Chains A and B, each alone.
Chain A
Amino acid sequence: MIEALNHAFSLRGLFWISVSIVSYIAALWVNRLCKGHPAAHPIVTTALLVSLGLYLTHTSVTAYQHAASLLYWLLGPITVALALPIYRQWQKLKHYGWRLLISIAFGGVLAPIGAWLTLFVLDAPRAMQFTMLAKSITTPLAMETSAQIGGIPALAAVFVIVTGVVGAIMATSMFSLFNVTNRQAQGIALGTVAHAVGTAKAIQMGEDVAAMATLGLCVNGIFTAVALPIVFGLFI
């Protein structure tokens, strides 16, 4: 932490952290302008703007990561902060009962296994296969978990975000293809498979959908993050 703070309060650190924050604020504005379309998610725009800044100043990504290491370090504490939404959703889970647990477990197991199987069959590198297993859970948990099982955290962050964007874009047509009209079911699927980007989409669909999406995100996130390293520890 001390090291990250030292970087942050150097001239370079202050500069690049400010660039990141300003880019993020611009990205929030772009997102509002696009009426919250999933492809205009703030992280996408922020990453593009910061890359542009790096390109214009001939700065390497490694130098940027060094300067902005405080942001990276904060991923740890923000993971801990997820305790609050999980605590709040846990109380609701009692009301909904076992049906939702089965649904979330189904989506939470099917999505990573499907993605892993694809990479396995198409013979992608092992590290990439393992990284794919964490793609359906919220970014900070996915990064920690993929590091634990021999995946690549940076790749996990990108896979997770792309998964979320794809899920949010495809949601409406998939729900009509599978003939799903139940709003609670739509919410659970969005949160479980497309984590927080899916939840953002669910918020647009209504409060009841959003509540279920948050529930799916929390329950799947915690179970995947606990189960993956243990399964890997036991069998691989």
Chain B
Amino acid sequence: MRNAINTVVGAVLVFTAYYVGLLIVNLTSLPVPGPLVGLLLLVGVLFAFPQTERQVARAVTFPLKHMSLLFVPAVLGVSIYWSDIKANALAIAIAIIITTSFCLGLTAWLTQALLNTKSTHKTQLNNINKNEGGTND
């Protein structure tokens, strides 16, 4: 019962942040997406009231894990742009395959170089490596 209440409270927080975010963007015509403002608001709420973390976690952990399902309508919508994609297939392939691969390597290389500049830092890193589960899209 308590868990159910926590889930509902968490969900109410998420939806409230979502709508307030939309409202703020509508009123101020900020150049950022409404849901992003909602996200930042919810991060703010979590910092201001750390006890809400448990409630939000109960509401969002399962949907976040399976959010891939929500992308299906959008992904299928790409068929509308099929001719554009075909016309630029080579450019897209180079942009995605080559740049992604090299950026991955370069970023990892730079990170390694930076982390090695301070070896004491490493032991510190190993102490706080508890994964808290990410998203899954």
A residues whose Cβ falls under 8 Å from a Cβ of B: 20-21, 23-24, 27, 41-43, 46-47, 50-51, 54, 61, 64-65, 68-69, 71-72, 74-90, 92, 95-97, 99-100, 102-103, 106-107, 110-111, 114-116, 118-119, 122-125, 128, 132, 135-136, 138-141, 143-145, 147-148, 152-155, 157-159, 161-164, 166-167, 170-171, 174-175, 177-182, 184-186, 188-200, 203, 207-208, 210-214, 217, 222, 225-226, 229-230, 232-233
Given contacts A84-B46, A144-B36, A211-B129, are A122 and B90 in contact (CB under 8 A)?
yes
Contacts of B60 in A (CB 8 A): 78, 81, 84
The 5 listed contacts between A and B (C-beta, < 8 Å) are A102-B110, A139-B71, A170-B100, A213-B134, A225-B36
Q: Please, how many angstroms separate the alpha-carbon atoms of A51 and B124 in the complex?
A: 49
Given contacts A122-B91, A166-B97, are A143 and B36 in contact (CB under 8 A)?
no
Number of interface residues, chain B, beta carbon within 8 A: 88
Nearest Cβ on chain A to B4's Cβ, whole angstroms: 18
Q: Which secondary structure dominates where chain A touches chain B?
A: helix
Given contacts A24-B66, A182-B112, are A65 and B73 in contact (CB under 8 A)?
yes
Whether A76 pairs with B105 at a CB distance below 8 angstroms is no
User: CB within 8 A of B74: which of A145, A153, A167, A177?
Assistant: A153
Given contacts A107-B110, A140-B137, A185-B108, 15 further A-B contacts (CB under 8 A): A43-B72, A77-B15, A80-B42, A81-B42, A116-B95, A122-B88, A124-B91, A157-B75, A159-B96, A170-B104, A182-B108, A189-B104, A211-B129, A225-B32, A226-B36
Nearest Cβ on chain A to B24's Cβ, whole angstroms: 13
Whether A178 pairs with B124 at a CB distance below 8 angstroms is no
Whether B125 pairs with A184 at a CB distance below 8 angstroms is yes
CB nearest to B59 among chain A residues: A81
Contacts of A103 in B (CB 8 A): 107, 110-111, 114
CB nearest to A113 among chain B residues: B99
| Contact pattern, B 4-15, Cβ under 8 Å of A = 1, otherwise 0 | 000000000011
Whether A78 pairs with B70 at a CB distance below 8 angstroms is yes
The reply to whether the CB of B57 lies closer than 8 angstroms to some CB of chain A is: yes
Whether B68 pairs with A42 at a CB distance below 8 angstroms is yes
Whether A230 pairs with B31 at a CB distance below 8 angstroms is yes
Contacts of B121 in A (CB 8 A): 97, 99
Q: Please, how many angstroms separate the alpha-carbon atoms of A122 and B92 in the complex?
A: 9
| Contact pattern, B 120-131, Cβ under 8 Å of A = 1, otherwise 0 | 011011101111
